[in-house]
Chain A
Amino acid sequence: MSDTNNVRRVISVLVENESSVLSRISGLFAGRGYNIETLTVAPVPDSNLSHITIATKGSLRVLEQITKQLHKLVPVYKVIEHNEMVEKEMVLIKFPIEQNLADIQVLCGAYNGGIVNVGESMIIGMVADEPCRVKHFIEATKRYNPIEIVRGGVVAIER
């Protein structure tokens, strides 16, 4: 399992909250051929910083380069390669109203979530859990004919 050529890593990047900063980061990944699994961005409360969380994969050499190249960008304050972290991802799933609602509710509950919205023809479930558990959840819901699945990308915090 410990394939050093394809290691998954979650990286937090603290950046100055300016208009072009996200394109600098995504452009760096695209231009140098680094892989982005997920990317989330939000402002850090009470500051002029933003927190970007990137889940990526690559060889150890590439991961080291990613960290160093991110550091080189002028608006980047801090790069944290997560090690001991709590990692969560959110997903929203829309089901037809005809499906077994009790089953769906139990399933969502088992993965830290629940039913968050109901309409005439659909219901929406939400869960927030570790990325691999989110994957299991999505697999488990397949039999309820989901209409739409929206994953939120990973956020992580170091313990």
Chain B
Amino acid sequence: MNINGAQMVCEALIAEGVKTVFGYPGGAIMNVYDEIYKQDGFEHILNRHEQASVHAADGYARATGEVGVAMVTSGPGFTNAVTGLATAYMDSIPMVVISGQVPLSLIGTDGFQEIDAVGISRPCTKHNYLVRELSDLPRIMKEAFHIARTGRPGPVLVDIPKDITAEFGNFVYPKEVSIPSYKPTYKGNSRQIDKAIEAILKSKKPLLYIGGGVVLSDASDLVRKLADMGQLPAVETLMARGVMGAKNPLLQGMLGMHGNYSSNMAMSETDLVISLGARFDDRVTGKLSEFAKYADVIHIDIDPANIGKLVDVDYPIVGDVKRVLEKFITGLEGKINPERYADWREVLARYDNLHPQSYVDSDEVIKPQWAIERLGELVGEQAIITSDVGQHQMWAAQHYPFDRPRQWINSGGLGTMGFGFPAALGAKKAFPDKTVINITGDGSILMNVQELVTASEYKIPVINVILNNHFLGMVRQWQTFFYEERYSETDLTFQPNYKALAEACHGIGYDVTTKAEFDAAIKDAIAKDKVAFVNVQVARFENVLPMVPSAGALYNMMLPKKEEK
């Protein structure tokens, strides 16, 4: 097939089964957009900012497990995409981003809209390519998708000079990928697995420490099975919410800086950490020397560089957590006795009784935690929840009853404000029949607010629940605790009219100040086929608790006041 480079890009996307591309055209990528106009193999969504395109592709990938695709032009188009790449990179999200580049002859001349995309994106992509020969393009597209979705997933950038997209050549899309230097390990070392199984059988206080890798590997059912077999207590990281299911009695909750009491105490007292696709992030561990101090560590991770990076590991297992768990389950079948850990479960139950995840509700003002819990009651299992970054994100992670993996979509590693709304668009494109709700704050929502237009144009009716405390709440909370209440640049009293803003962009807005209005607004928003802003006035000075002050030990938590009875 003799076609030009732009057509090759489209053909490759179709061959990869891509249904939706999120993007924004511009000079250097115009040839590709010309071919997009002519084809009908995939849909293109025009976001109103390149960052949103990449987050939308990311949200699509997180909701489906497939590779998300975004397309941008050179220069500012690409630099706007960088935050999206970095967000996906930190959370290991499979994504291919295609960027236009100035023609080969202009590279290095400071041409109009020229920037070194490969140089800038090197530390925030799994891999990247500058296409220098048209004949390399089919192979590079094939490799990009392969690298994005295999091993530890991640975003891959393909930067294509404009003259290459115009040039004609023979197109044969490769069936196989051959990258001799790239061979991820999937199968765990069986000797290490046997030793780890022995360690579980010998331990008295084992703890499943579940990370986002379990979601990426689609291994949640196996984790639930393993937990069930041994009645093993489990804690989830922010990225793993939904793996165990909120109703599972073995789930202690989320651990870390804003983890609940029994989760953090479980980690502090366990004698065997069974780490499943988690990476011992500083927001999880707190002070490293006090983290899981009495425990041996089994660390299962597909990325060998994660093992031993921060914590000494006794049983390192490099492999896909799904495959390793299959072996664990076979190895433990008939041997593991749930009774052995009964005392340990008892201890944790007592901890949870002592300090359950709680807040003091109010009749005068909506508490943000109440709003999340109520949302859970109203839409629960069937909704996909995305979030931005800050207090609302932590409250959502703490209080929403997540029942399944991929139900909870947030920027955990990079902590990108402005992620939630475009990610919700991506999730809703993938699952048009599900209610998709972005839990956001009055700070975050403005960072990609232009997506109101995208959502309206393409009829992607996602609901943004703005927990509005007229503050950059998380920074304000730190200022309260650690900066003697000097609220430097965190007061957001000056606000847009959120209802009018949504309506100006052909969406629908609700102002909510009471619990009754909250219910009514959510129900109405679900019934309407429009993008919605539900602007909820919440208690201004509410703090996210428990909290482990930065660099403190996990067991030293600031706890919420108990409700007076």
Contact = CB atoms under 8 A, between A and B. Distances in A.
B511 to A, nearest CB: 46
Given A16-B181, A20-B118, A77-B180, A69 B123 contact: no
What bracket does the count of chain A residues touching chain B fall in? 20 to 34
B130 A72 contact: no
B308 A74 contact: no
Contacts of A31: 123
Contacts of A69: 305
A68 interface: yes
A68 B119 CA distance: 22
Scoring A20, A64, A72 by chain B CB atoms within 10 A of each residue's CB, the highest score goes to A72
Given A74-B181, A74-B182, A27 B305 contact: no
Interface string A18-61: 01100110011001000000000000000000000000000001
B263 to A, nearest CB: 27
A68 B152 CA distance: 14
A27 to B, nearest CB: 5
B304 A71 contact: yes
Contact of B181 (A20, A23, A76): A76
B122 A27 contact: yes
Q: Would you call the interface of chain A mostly helix, strand, loop, or mixed?
A: helix
B147 A74 contact: yes
Interface in B281-309: 303-305, 308-309
A65 B119 contact: no
A51 B308 CA distance: 27
Given A23-B122, A27-B122, A27-B123, A72 B305 contact: yes
A75 interface: yes
Interface in B124-144: 126-127, 130, 132
A57 B182 CA distance: 27
B305 A65 contact: yes
B354 interface: no
A44 to B, nearest CB: 14
Interface in B541-556: none
A64 B311 CA distance: 13
B179 interface: yes
A71 to B, nearest CB: 7
Contacts of A65: 305, 309
A13 to B, nearest CB: 11
Contacts of B309: 61, 65
Interface in B171-217: 179-182
A65 B308 CA distance: 8
B95 to A, nearest CB: 16
B452 to A, nearest CB: 36
A68 B122 contact: no
A27 B421 CA distance: 33
B305 A68 contact: yes
Given A68-B304, A68-B305, A77 B181 contact: yes
Contacts of A24: 122
Nearest to A77: B181
Contacts of B130: 19-20
Nearest to A76: B181
Interface in A66-84: 68-69, 71-72, 74-77
B122 A72 contact: no
Contacts of B122: 20, 23-24, 27
B303 A75 contact: no
Nearest to B126: A74
Contacts of B180: 77
Nearest to A20: B118
Nearest to A16: B181
Given A20-B118, A68-B304, A74 B123 contact: no
Nearest to B143: A74
Contact of A74 (B127, B303, B304, B305): B127
A123 B132 CA distance: 45
Contacts of A61: 308-309
Nearest to B318: A68
Nearest to B129: A20
A15 B179 CA distance: 12
A75 B305 contact: no
A64 B119 CA distance: 25
Contacts of A23: 119, 122
Contacts of B182: 74
A16 B147 CA distance: 16
Nearest to A69: B305
Nearest to B151: A72
Interface in A91-122: none
7 cross-chain pairs, A with B, having the tightest CB-CB distances, nearest first: A68-B305, A74-B127, A77-B181, A31-B123, A74-B182, A68-B304, A27-B122
20 contacts: A19-B130, A20-B118, A20-B122, A23-B122, A27-B123, A31-B123, A61-B308, A61-B309, A65-B305, A68-B304, A68-B305, A69-B305, A71-B304, A71-B305, A72-B303, A72-B305, A74-B127, A74-B147, A74-B179, A75-B181
Given A27-B122, A74-B127, 4 more contacts: A16-B181, A19-B132, A61-B309, A72-B303
Interface of A: 15-16, 19-20, 23-24, 27-28, 31, 61, 64-65, 68-69, 71-72, 74-77
